[in-house]
Structures are given as structure tokens and as C-alpha cells.
């Protein structure tokens, strides 16, 4: 059976192709699977207010660098009269905004705005960190400090078992033990001198790790914990040891944070101005997770342009939102017919009825459909006596259906019944066809068969309607159109099913004995 | 449920899916279907192959043909009006004998010439054809059915359905009208199906509404062990229908006429699968064997010989299979 193998191969290839794109998008690109998945987007703003001194002014401000892991859709600059240039430091990859103005006077405001979802502890450090760093001995110029450093690190090395405990000890001695006078090494006091702030301590820890060949850097940024007008900048140490990334947060580790710049320098370097007021503001917004993935640029955006609907006009998008769910209904119908043995009027009529239910909702739709079909059938049987030809007979049924629908709508509106009967052109055609097919079955086979097929059709229509209007189904089909290949493959495979249907087990029950 | 599924599978019972994929779609080329859908064409092909069928008195395709109608229906034994592309007996009028003013229908009612003309006009305009396409009306010989099955049929005409795979008759069934089926032999209308042994032409088990019965529901006459007359002729007609149509899987419907013997009534390219219940046997093993043995070189007589031996071995084998499973 070569055609059987051919169909099987085609089916599985289609399913595999669809699924692999789907899995790539969900696993590698982070498309969320749940339709209601949301993520918090943080509105991040640097706000600078200052007094011009009427002399050339220059403000250098670090800006968050846009890299792949935490790219942001749009950033905005409010420059006022200032000139803006952007620079990138080669060594640290820090990005810098340089605002300049020749003679600013009175109060000036500069702003920078971006959206981000931030980073977490699992955000990887850059690749350069995985290579062993050169061992750099600090304090080359200062013999006293140099001596103290050698004594202290030698002591640390003796008390540690490996690189990791060495790093742990280093950080503990630079930060935590300082209040307990006895354990606090004199050498550390010498090394820290007066700059005992967090940055000074982090810098010492960084130098110590670097001297042992551990790549490390100071990172500065904000914690994404609450929306605030004035957010403190925080500092932490990032280093890479034994193939693992570490972050040491002196102020306690946040769930999410946002790095602005690296190194020990200040956020703003200004000259020619007075009364600088620096504010960093955070504002939280909940967005659909899918939009965030989309807007973050890079691969998802490119993929969507080719395989997605997001570039289409909005009205067309809405049409496709409905259209892509129809194959789901059709696949369900195929299954119910080929495997269960549902009897239906017409081939795809039940799915079309299911689509028509979109405009009436399920219960109303079922009531409306059964009523109209019953009345239409009655008319159809009356017309049978007149022995009309096929086309005029169909026309009479269509006109009758239109009259009935108009009657129902007017009555219900008059009775102030707001049950949302939105009637459109589409269901009329479907109703007429259903009545015609049902009456044919009624005459050619039997009334029982016609009713059986009618109920089968309505049952499948209801199931298809529930599936097609399900939010999750709609979301999956619309965001992952590649699933159409999976459905197609399933239908190809079902098309070669030659086994018995569930209903045939009942039909042939007497052969079982 | 799974057990039922396995048992039916073991017994070789095929479902609609298997019939469609393996037999109807695989063996009946679409472009040849017109040979069974158009009854006029079927008749012409059957005549050429010497398969007896009800004599054609005339064909009415338009108003001009209608003028010849009185001439065509001038037969003392009555006649039948049939749409060439009708299905399931729709649009058929059976006229029994002439009356003084008009004709007597099989049901006993009187019908005037104008009523017959109206009915024929309906047929021509496509009222009974698939998709409402213009059709032709056939006027043919009215079958006076043989009395052998008189005791086990209620009104209407019983017929014999033979399933033919690539020219080899594999299954046969006698279809009997009942009061419920309103004189029609169609099984889904409530007709009774009685399995017939291909080798001997003797009736076996019977079914109605997919359930096994022993006696006719209206006449209460036992249905088993009745010899179908002209059995070898019937098999020959069924086997020859393959050459006529070129279709590899057909149901051949044959009626028995008092005077003319078995006549080919119509051919069906999608024969139903209820025949398995009437025969108390699955179709698969026989179909597969017949498919292997069939060859273009075999004559109709040779194919019938194969059919008869197949029946014996096939039964033995399916019993052996069931025995082994139990």
C-alpha cells in the first residue's frame, strides 16, 4: 500500500514541521502558551533637573545598554534645547548620553525614557566572562596598600578551600564582618581607606577576585520592586566562577532588577551647572506577555513579519482571528465523523452552523436554529404538495426564513428582550441549506434518520462552536499559525483510518456473539 | 468496548471507512461512475454484454419526445417510469395496466395520462436527479416478479444484491420489502436482508435494522434455506457487470421476473456494509482473497468457479481464526 505510506509520511512531516516551529517559538523565543499570560513592563525614566550657570554645560549620563536579553521597544529623549550625542565605551560596553549646551540659563530639564522587563538572577553574563581573566595585581603604585593586599589575600587563600569559598570569604570580609571589630582585618581597613561606601567595597572585592583570575564587574542599576518617583540606584558585583554566574547584592537580592551601567563611576558626570537633581522613576504596567515578546524586537519580530498576522491591517487581523479557528472545528468534525461515526447533514454544514453561532451565542443559537429549521421544514413539506421545481422551492424557503428572522427580531425587540440576537446574512444561507438537506434525508430515508442527522449536526456544531470560540484555542491558532500544518497533518492521517467507527461497534454488535 | 473492536476486527468486519478507502476509492475510478449513475447508459452497456435487463420502451428527454409518449406506454402489462439519474427509488412510477380513461398504478390508484406527463416533466426538470440537473425519463418493462419469494415479502419487489470484487462475486443477499419499508427493498428503510450462500444460492441468516431475525416480520414465514432460482445465471450476470462498468467494487441488484428470469435492475458503486450482518460474516478476508486471485485474463465463468471455492475456504479460515482466538 504505497499510497498509505505516502499519506502517513506526509501527515507526520506536516505535524513535525508545524510542531517544530511551534516549539521553537515557545521554548527558544519565549512565546507564552497561555492566552492570559501577562508580564510587568516597567516604565523607566531618568529625570535631570538643574540650574544653568550661563556657561558651557555638559552632562554625561549612563543609559541602559540595549542587548538581546532585555531589549526595549522604544526609548525616548527629552532634550530641550540641548544637543545630544550617544557614545559607547569600548571596554565596559556602557552607553552614554552626552547632553551639551553653550549658555544655558535658569532651570533646565532633561529626560530619558524606556520600557523594560528587566533582568533576573538567571540572566546570563556576557560570553567574555566565561574566559579566564588575566590576574591583575592592584595597588601597584602604593607599596603600603600593596603589602596589605598581599597579606590579606594570602590569609584568605589559606582559609579557603577553593575559588568559590575564596570568593565567598572575600565578600564576607569586605562587607559583613566590618562591624565586629575583632574579626575585621586591619588590612581591609587600610585598603578601604575613607571610601567605605558600597562602591568602594565592591571595587575592593572586584580587585581581589580579579587578582585571582576571576572575571568580575560592578553593575549599577535599580531594583524593579515597586513603582516609585525616586528610586535609589543600587550596586552589585557580578562574577563568573567554575562555569557559573554569580551576582552578589550587598543590599539583598531582588527578584528583578535593571542594570544601567557597569564600573565604579557615577551615573552622571556634569560640568557647568548647579543644583543638579537626579531622579530615577519606575512605573509598572501589566501587558500581555505575547506583546512584550513581540515588541522586544529581534527574531520574534522578524518571524512575525513573515509568518504572522501582526503586520496586517487591524480589521483584516480580526477576520483572521476567526478564520484560523475554523480548521480546529473542521478537525474536530473529521474526528467525530471518522472515528465516532456522528451522522451529519452535509459535510461541513455543522462547522458552518457553529460559525453562525458566533453571532447568536450557543443557547440562543440552538433555540433559534431548531425553531427555524422546524418551521422551515414544515413549509418545505407543504411546498412538496405543490410539486415545485427545485430552485423556486429553495427560493421560497429562503424568503420564508428571512420573514421568520425578521419576525423574531421585531417581536423580541418589541418585548424589550435584549438577548442579543444579531442576525446577519450568513446564517440565512446555512439555515436554508440545512432545511433542504434535512428534508431530502427525511423523504429518501426516514424521519428518524433526518432527526438523527439533525441532532448530530447540532451536537457537532455546538462542540465546534465551543472549541472555536475558546480563548485559548483562538490565541494558540492566531499566535501560532504553524499549528495549521499540525491540523492538516492530523486530517491527512485520519483520512487513511480504515478501522471501525465507534458507532459501528454498536451496529455490528450482533456479529460479536 | 476495546474487546468488541478486537473481535470485530478478527472476524474481518469492515466499516464505512475501510470500504471507502480500500475498495470504493481504490477500485472505482471516478470517471467511470457515470456508467452506474446514468441508468440509461447502464442499460445500453448491459445490452451490449448480453446481460438481461427490463426492456426499454422509450426515453423522454424533452417536449418533442413527449409526443411519442402514448405510443411508448401502449403495453397491456403496464410500464415503469424511472429517472435515469435518480437514486433510492425516487420518482419511479409503476403502472400496472390500462384502464378506460387512464391507467392503474401498482398501488391501485388511477392515474390520467396528463398526470403521467406531469410526473415525467418533473423528472426531466431534474427534480429527482443529483444536484437538480436536467434528467431523462426511462419508460421500461414492468417486472412481474417471480413468486418464489412471495411468502417472504410484503408488497413491493424483492431483489438480490451481489457484491462483486473485480468480477468475483463475494457476498450475496436477498432484500425483502416489509410493511415498514413501504414496499421498498432498501435496508435502511426497514427492509429485511437475508444472506445467500454464493456456492449454492440457499438463503441463510436474516437481519432487519441491523438486528438478526429468523422470520419475516409481516408474514412470519421462516427465511432460512430457500433456494434462489436461476442462481448460476444470477452469478454470471453479477460477474459480467465488472466488464460492463470497469468498476472493481460494485453492488449488483437483480430482480426475478416470472417470464424472463433474472433481470439486472441497477448497479451501485457504493454498496452498503450491512450485508455483513445478513451473512453473519465480515467481508475483509473474502475481499482480500478475491483481490489476490482476480486477474484480467479470467473469464466470467472462471471467476464464478473461484467465487465458489473461495466461499468454502474462506468460511473455513474465518472459523479457524475465531477458533484460535477463543
| Lowest mean per-residue pLDDT among A291-300, A423-432, B137-146 | A291-300
For helices B231-245 and B39-48, the axis angle rounded to 10 degrees is 110
Over residues A467-493, mean pLDDT: 91
**Rounded mean pLDDT, A302-312:** 72
Q: Work out the percent of chain A whose per-residue pLDDT is above 70.
A: 87
Q: Is residue A363 very low, low, confident or very high in pLDDT (cuts 50, 70, 90)?
A: confident
The Cα A171–Cα A308 span in angstroms is 49
Cβ-defined contact of B15 to A446 (cutoff 8 Å): no
What is the full DSSP assignment across B184-204?
---GGGT-EEEEE-TTT-BEE
Q: What is the mean pLDDT of residues A357-371?
A: 82
Could you say which of A338, A389, A508 has the minimum Cβ distance to residue B13?
A: A508
Q: Residue A294: what pLDDT?
A: 66
For residue A241, name the pLDDT band (cuts at 50, 70, 90).
Answer: confident
Cell digits for A457? 449536526
Work out the minimum CA distance from A21 to partner chain B, whole angstroms: 32
Answer yes or no: is pLDDT of A456 > 70. Answer: yes
Q: Count CA atoms within 13 Å of residue A217 on its CB side.
A: 17
Q: Is A35 helix (H, G, I), strand (E, B) or coil?
A: coil
Task: State how far Cα A242 lies from the chain centre.
Answer: 33
Sign of CA dihedral B209, B213, B215, B217: negative
What is the reported pLDDT for B319?
A: 45
Query: Which of B:36-65 have CB within 8 Å of A?
Result: none
The pLDDT, as a whole number, for residue B92 is 83
| Residue from the list A444, A501, A511 with its beta carbon closest to the beta carbon of B11 | A511
Listed range (A87-101, A417-431, A497-511) with the worst mean pLDDT: A417-431
**Which residues of A fall within a CB distance of 8 Å from B282?**
511
Most A CBs within 10 A among B1, B16, B90, hence the mutation to make, goes to B16
Torsion angle, alpha carbons of B177, B183, B186, B190, to 10: -70
Cell of A489: 497533518
Length of chain B: 326
| pLDDT exceeds 50 at position B194 | yes
Among A292, A364, A298, A272, smallest CA distance to A60 is for: A272
Task: Give the residue with greater pLDDT, A143 vs B249.
Answer: B249
Half-sphere exposure of A259 (CA within 13 A, CB side): 27
Q: Are B148 and B229 in contact (CB under 8 A)?
A: yes
Distance CA A52, CA A108 (A): 7
- The band of B112, judged by pLDDT with boundaries at 50, 70 and 90, is confident
Q: Which residues of A touch B274 (CB under 8 A)?
A: 507
Give this complex's ipTM: 0.76
CA distance A142 to A447: 105
* Confidence band, pLDDT 50/70/90 cuts, at residue B249: very high
Kindly state whether B88 is in contact with chain A, defined as any CB-CB distance less than 8 angstroms.
yes
Contact map slice: B 307-326 vs A, CB within 8 A: none
Smallest CA–CA distance, residue B67 to chain A, in Å, is 22
Residue A397: which pLDDT band, with cuts at 50, 70 and 90?
Answer: confident
pLDDT at residue A213 greater than cutoff 60: yes
* Per-residue pLDDT at A362: 83
The mean pLDDT of B45-72, rounded to a whole number, is: 86
Contact B322, B10 (CB under 8 A): yes
Between B132 and A266, whose confidence is greater?
A266
| CB proximity A315 to B under 8 Å | no
Chain A interface, best mutation among B15, B91, B283, B321, by max A CB count within 10 A? B15
pLDDT band at A310 (very low <50, low <70, confident <90, very high): confident
- The rounded distance, in Å, linking the Cα atoms of A290 and A31 is 6
Q: In terms of pLDDT, which residue wins out, B126 or A7? A: A7
DSSP element (H, E) containing B120: helix B113-124
Distance CA A305, CA A316 (A): 15
Grid cell of B321 as nine digits: 481464526
How far apart CA B300 and CA A422 sit, in angstroms, is: 64
Nearest CA in chain A to B132: A390
Q: Name the pLDDT band for A296 (thresholds 50, 70, 90).
A: low
* Mean pLDDT along residues A279-294: 74
**Cβ separation B8–A338 shorter than 8 A:** no
Lowest mean pLDDT among A8-12, B1-5, B184-188, B275-279: B184-188
Shortest Cα distance, chain B CAs vs residue A312, angstroms:
40
Q: What is the pLDDT of residue B325?
A: 40
Instruction: State whether residue B6 sits within 8 Å of chain A by CB.
Output: no
H-assigned helices in B147-213: none
In this predicted model, what pLDDT tens digit does every residue of A311-361 receive, in sequence order?
A: 777 778 888 888 899 999 999 999 999 899 888 888 888 898 888 888 777
Full DSSP string of A113-179: EEEE--B-TTSPPPGGGGSPPPP----TT-HHHHHHHHHHHHHHHHH-SSHHHHHHHHHHHHTGGGG
Highest mean pLDDT pick, A26-30, A333-337, B151-155: A333-337
| E strands in chain B | 56-60, 79-83, 93-99, 102-105, 110-111, 137-140, 159-165, 168-176, 192-196, 203-208, 211-213, 249-257, 261-268
What are the grid coordinates assigned to B41, written together? 447508459
What's the mean per-residue pLDDT of chain A? 80
CA distance A363 to A352: 16
Q: Which residues, 6 or more positions from A492, have their beta carbon under 8 angstroms from its beta carbon?
A: A7, A10, A11, A14
Q: What is the pLDDT of residue A332?
A: 94
Average pLDDT value for residue range A67-82? 69
What is residue B323's predicted lDDT score, i.e. its pLDDT? Answer: 43
Which residue did the predictor score with more confidence, B129 or A61? A61
Number of helical (H) and strand (E) elements in chain B, helices listed first: 12, 13
How buried is B40 (Cβ within 10 angstroms: 0-12 exposed, 13-18 middle, 19+ buried)? middle
Sorted by where each begins, the domain ranges of chain B are 28-36+146-325, 56-140
Angstroms from B269 CA to nearest CA on chain A: 18
Q: Three cell numbers at A52? A: 544653568
- Mean pLDDT, all residues of chain B: 83
CB contact under 8 A, A512 and B118: no
Nearest residue of A to residue B90, measured between CA atoms: A444
Lowest-pLDDT choice from A17-26, A185-194, B155-164: A185-194
pLDDT digits (tens, 9 = 90+) for A420-450: 455 565 677 788 788 878 877 777 677 888 8
d(CA B252, CA B80): 20
Question: What mean pLDDT is predicted for residues A191-220?
Answer: 78
Q: Does A386 touch chain B (CB under 8 A)?
A: no
Computed over its alpha carbons, how large is the radius of gyration of chain B? 20
CA distances from A500 to A340, A426, B8, B193, B270 (A): 9, 36, 9, 21, 17
Other C-beta atoms closer than 10 Å to the C-beta of B242 total 23
Domain B28-36+146-325, CATH among 3.40.50.1220, 3.30.470.20, 3.10.20.30, 3.40.50.300: 3.30.470.20
Q: Among the listed ranges A193-197, B35-39, B182-186, which one has the minimum average pLDDT value?
A: A193-197
Most confident of A9-18, A33-42, A154-163, B23-32: A9-18
Query: Helices B284-293 & B300-325, crossing angle to 10 degrees?
Result: 140
What residues form DSSP beta bridges with B262?
B256
When pLDDT is cut at 50, 70 and 90, the band that residue A66 belongs to is low
Amino acid at each position: 500500500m504505497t499510497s498509505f505510506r505516502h499519506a502517513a509520511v506526509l501527515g507526520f512531516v506536516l505535524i513535525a514541521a508545524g510542531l517544530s516551529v511551534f516549539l521553537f517559538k515557545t521554548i527558544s523565543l519565549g512565546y507564552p502558551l497561555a492566552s492570559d499570560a501577562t508580564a510587568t513592563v516597567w516604565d523607566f525614566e531618568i529625570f535631570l533637573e538643574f540650574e544653568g550657570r550661563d556657561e558651557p554645560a555638559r552632562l554625561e549620563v549612563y543609559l541602559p545598554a540595549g542587548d538581546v536579553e532585555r531589549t526595549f521597544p522604544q526609548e525616548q529623549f527629552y532634550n530641550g534645547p540641548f544637543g545630544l550625542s550617544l557614545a559607547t565605551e569600548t571596554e565596559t560596553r556602557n552607553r552614554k548620553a552626552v547632553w551639551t549646551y553653550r549658555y544655558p540659563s535658569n532651570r533646565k530639564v532633561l529626560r530619558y525614557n524606556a520600557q523594560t522587563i528587566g533582568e533576573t538572577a538567571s540572566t546570563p553574563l556576557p560570553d567574555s566572562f566565561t574566559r579566564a581573566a588575566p590576574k591583575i595585581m592592584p595597588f601597584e603604585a602604593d607599596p603600603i596598600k600593596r603589602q596589605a593586599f598581599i597579606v590579606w589575600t594570602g590569609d584568605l587563600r589559606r582559609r579557603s578551600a577553593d575559588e568559590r569559598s575564596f570568593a565567598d570569604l572575600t565578600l564576607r570580609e569586605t562587607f559583613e564582618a566590618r562591624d565586629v571589630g575583632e574579626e575585621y582585618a586591619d588590612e581591609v581597613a587600610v585598603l578601604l581607606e575613607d571610601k567605605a561606601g558600597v562602591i568602594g567595597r565592591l571595587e575592593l572585592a572586584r580587585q581581589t577576585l580579579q587578582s585571582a583570575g576571576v572575571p568580575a564587574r560592578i553593575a549599577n542599576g535599580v531594583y524593579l520592586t515597586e513603582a516609585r518617583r525616586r528610586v535609589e540606584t543600587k550596586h552589585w558585583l557580578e562574577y563568573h566562577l567554575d562555569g557559573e554566574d554569580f551576582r552578589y547584592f550587598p543590599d539583598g537580592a531582588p527578584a528583578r532588577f535593571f542594570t544601567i551601567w557597569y564600573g565604579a563611576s557615577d551615573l552622571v558626570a556634569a560640568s557647568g551647572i548647579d543644583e543638579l537633581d537626579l531622579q530615577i522613576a519606575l512605573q509598572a504596567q501589566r501587558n500581555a506577555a505575547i506583546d512584550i515578546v513581540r515588541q522586544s524586537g529581534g527574531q520574534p519580530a522578524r518571524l512575525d513579519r513573515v509568518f504572522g498576522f501582526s503586520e496586517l491591517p487591524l480589521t483584516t487581523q480580526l477576520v483572521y482571528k476567526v478564520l484560523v479557528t475554523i480548521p480546529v472545528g473542521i478537525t474536530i468534525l473529521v474526528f467525530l465523523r471518522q472515528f465516532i461515526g456522528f451522522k451529519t447533514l452535509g459535510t461541513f454544514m455543522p462547522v458552518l452552523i457553529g460559525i453562525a453561532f458566533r453571532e447568536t451565542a450557543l443557547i440562543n443559537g440552538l433555540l433559534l436554529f431548531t425553531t427555524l429549521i422546524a418551521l422551515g421544514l414544515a413549509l418545505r413539506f407543504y411546498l412538496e404538495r405543490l410539486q415545485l421545481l427545485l430552485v423556486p422551492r429553495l427560493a421560497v424557503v429562503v424568503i420564508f426564513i428571512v420573514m421568520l428572522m425578521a419576525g423574531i427580531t421585531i417581536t423580541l425587540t418589541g418585548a424589550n428582550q435584549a438577548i442579543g440576537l444579531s442576525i446577519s446574512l450568513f446564517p440565512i444561507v446555512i439555515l436554508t441549506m440545512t432545511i433542504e438537506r434535512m428534508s431530502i434525508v427525511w423523504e429518501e430515508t426516514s424521519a428518524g434518520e433526518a432527526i438523527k442527522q439533525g441532532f448530530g449536526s447540532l451536537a457537532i456544531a455546538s462542540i465546534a462552536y465551543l472549541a472555536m470560540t475558546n480563548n485559548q484555542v483562538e490565541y494558540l491558532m492566531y499566535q501560532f499559525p504553524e499549528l495549521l500544518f499540525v491540523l492538516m497533518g492530523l486530517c491527512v492521517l485520519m483520512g487513511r483510518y480504515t478501522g471501525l467507527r465507534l458507532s459501528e461497534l454498536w451496529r455490528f454488535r450482533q456479529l460479536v456473539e | 468496548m476495546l474487546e468488541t473492536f478486537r473481535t470485530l476486527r478478527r472476524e474481518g468486519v469492515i466499516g464505512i471507512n475501510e470500504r471507502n478507502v480500500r475498495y470504493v476509492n481504490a477500485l472505482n475510478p471516478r470517471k467511470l461512475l457515470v456508467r452506474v449513475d446514468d441508468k440509461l447508459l447502464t442499460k445500453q452497456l448491459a445490452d451490449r454484454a448480453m446481460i438481461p435487463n427490463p426492456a426499454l420502451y422509450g426515453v423522454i428527454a424533452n417536449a418533442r419526445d413527449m409526443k411519442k409518449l402514448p405510443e411508448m406506454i401502449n403495453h397491456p402489462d403496464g410500464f415503469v417510469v424511472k429517472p435515469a439519474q435518480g437514486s433510492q427509488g425516487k420518482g419511479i412510477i409503476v403502472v400496472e395496466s390500462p384502464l378506460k380513461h387512464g391507467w392503474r398504478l401498482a398501488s391501485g390508484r388511477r392515474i390520467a395520462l396528463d398526470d403521467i406527463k406531469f410526473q415525467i416533466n418533473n423528472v426531466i426538470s431534474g427534480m429527482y436527479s443529483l444536484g437538480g440537473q436536467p434528467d431523462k425519463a426511462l419508460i421500461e418493462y414492468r417486472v412481474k416478479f417471480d413468486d418464489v419469494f412471495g411468502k417472504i415479502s410484503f408488497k413491493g419487489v424483492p431483489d438480490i444484491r451481489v457484491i462483486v470484487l473485480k468480477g468475483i462475486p463475494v457476498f450475496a443477499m436477498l432484500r425483502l420489502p416489509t410493511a415498514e419499508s413501504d414496499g421498498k427493498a432498501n435496508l435502511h428503510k426497514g427492509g429485511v436482508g437475508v444472506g445467500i450462500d454464493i456456492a449454492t444460492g440457499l438463503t441463510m441468516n436474516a437481519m432487519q435494522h441491523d438486528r438478526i431475525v429468523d422470520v419475516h416480520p409481516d408474514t412470519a414465514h421462516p427465511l432460512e434455506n430457500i433456494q434462489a432460482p436461476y442462481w448460476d445465471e444470477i452469478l454470471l450476470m453479477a460477474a459480467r457487470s465488472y466488464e460492463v462498468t470497469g468498476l472493481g467494487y460494485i453492488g449488483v441488484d437483480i430482480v426475478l421476473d416470472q417470464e424472463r428470469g433474472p433481470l439486472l435492475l441497477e448497479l451501485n458503486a457504493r454498496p452498503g456494509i450491512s450485508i455483513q450482518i445478513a451473512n453473519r460474516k465480515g467481508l475483509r478476508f473474502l475481499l482480500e482473497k478475491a483481490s489476490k486471485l482476480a486477474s484480467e485474463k479470467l473469464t466470467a465463468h472462471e471467476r464464478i468457479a473461484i467465487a465458489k471455492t473461495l466461499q468454502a475456504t474462506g468460511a473455513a479460515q474465518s472459523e479457524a481464526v475465531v477458533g484460535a482466538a477463543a
